[in-house]
């Protein structure tokens, strides 16, 4: 099952374990998709407030993303070709070679990217991916290995940290956006 063509929409999630809220504006743009969001929350006793912008091509591949905090810190990275990354000075970042997708901390939105980009179906079995992971406390990206498995095409997917330290079953809506992320986020 494929997801429906994206129409402009606004989605909100609340944090389940602590105070927090995300407001996401998602819309098609010429040549792809743009996601813009504000996220406020608290993790491990530390409060944060960030904005992020993600530009995707028509296949839901990240071509650029930026995250900035209310206190002025942030990160900007570009991917001029799949699996190659540049910093905000257009300098290569070879540590992230092979990473096509991103995982931004404290948002369920970036779980949608590999699912839609790869068109994951039950028949494909588990798919292991290397992600550019960006925590909101340091904004220091690192490679994070993750596994996605379709349980019910277009409706339910299993996310697993490759080291098996965390697993969650993610129900999705007709656009491939997370409805509920057990113990972390819930759509409102």
pTM recorded for the entire structure:
0.95
Are 64 and 78 contacting, i.e. CB atoms less than 8 angstroms apart?
yes
Pairwise CA distance, residues 129 & 147, whole Å: 6
Strand partners, 6: none
Q: Which residues, in sequence order, are bridge partners of residue 9?
A: 26
Q: What gap in Å lies between CA 92 and CA 108, rounded to an integer? A: 28
pLDDT at 149 over 70: yes
Q: Which residues share a beta bridge with 25?
A: 10, 36
Q: Would you call 24 exposed, middle or buried from its count of C-beta atoms within 10 A (0-12, 13-18, 19+)?
A: buried
- pLDDT tens-digit map of 41-85: 988 788 899 999 999 999 999 999 999 999 999 999 999 999 999
Q: What CA–CA distance (Å, rounded) separates 48 from 188? A: 20
Q: What is the pLDDT of residues 112-140, one digit of tens each?
A: 999 999 988 899 999 999 999 999 989 99
Query: How far is Cα 51 from Cα 38, in angstroms, rounded to an integer?
Result: 4
DSSP string, 75-130: EEEEEEETTEEE-TTS-B-GGGTT--EEEETT-SHHHHHHHHHHT--GGG--EEEE
């Amino acid at each position: 099952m494929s997801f429906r063509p994206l129409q402009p929409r606004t989605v909100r999630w609340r944090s389940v374990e602590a105070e927090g809220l995300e407001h996401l504006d998602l819309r098609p743009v010429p040549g792809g998709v743009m996601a813009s969001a504000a996220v406020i929350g608290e993790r491990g006793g530390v409060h944060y407030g960030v904005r992020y912008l993600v530009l995707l091509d028509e296949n839901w591949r990240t071509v650029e993303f930026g995250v900035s905090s209310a206190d002025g810190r942030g990160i900007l990275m570009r991917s001029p070709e799949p699996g190659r990354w540049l910093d905000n000075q257009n300098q290569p970042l070879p540590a992230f070679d092979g990473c096509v997708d991103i995982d931004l901390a404290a948002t369920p939105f970036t779980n949608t990217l590999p699912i839609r980009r790869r068109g994951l179906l039950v028949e494909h079995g588990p798919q292991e991916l290397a992600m550019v992971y960006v925590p909101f406390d340091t904004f220091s990206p690192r490679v994070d290995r993750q596994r996605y498995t379709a349980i019910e095409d277009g409706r339910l997917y299993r996310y697993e940290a490759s080291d098996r330290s965390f697993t969650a079953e993610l129900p999705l809506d007709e656009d491939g956006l997370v409805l509920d992320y057990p113990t972390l986020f819930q759509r409102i």
